[in-house]
Amino acid sequence: MQISEILKPAAVRSVSHVASKKRLFQDLSDLAHSVYGVNEAATLDALQERESLGPTGVGNGVALPHARLHGLDRVVALFMRLEKPMDFDAVDKLPVDLVFALLAPQSSGVDHLKALALVSRTLRDADLRAKLRANDDPVALHAVLAAAQDIKAA
């Protein structure tokens, strides 16, 4: 699995300001609807439900919100670079400015876990995070993420 297989260029955004985690999840849900055709309300509910189990801020300014949804036939991704970092209850207490969301079919099993491992491993790379933070053009952001294709999930 490669990031370019799950993340469409249209699913990448640079956002100037997000007031809250709930607003971020709403924006992600809207983007998921416009790019992948998934139900906005179901996506929002699933992201909030997953987040209620524990924060998905994984450290180093990165959050990996994820959820399982009915109506998907494969794992899909969304990426947002926040110009103004926000509190995300991350494990290292640092604010988040790189948000990589994964949506998986309800019965996806191992594919969902492979995608999470791939994204987590990719975004652990400090040089890659620096490149993402240095760009605000969605095309450039997608290119940086797609170029990380040599990093494979376990």
Q: What is the pLDDT of residues 70-88, one digit of tens each?
A: 888 889 999 999 999 998 8
Residue carrying the six token digits 């999840």: 25
The vertex-41 CA angle with 38 and 73, nearest 5°, equals: 25
153 pLDDT exceeds 70? no
101 pLDDT exceeds 50? yes
Domain architecture of the chain: domains with CATH: 3-149 (3.40.930.10)
Q: Give me the active site residues, please.
A: 66
Residue type for position 19: A
Q: What's the CA gap between 62 and 96, in Å, rounded?
A: 5
User: In the beta sheet, which residues pair with residue 14?
Assistant: 81
Q: Is the pTM of this model over 0.85?
A: yes
More confident residue, 25 or 111: 25
103 pLDDT exceeds 90? yes
**Alpha helices per DSSP H over the chain:** 3-6, 21-36, 40-53, 110-123, 126-133, 138-146
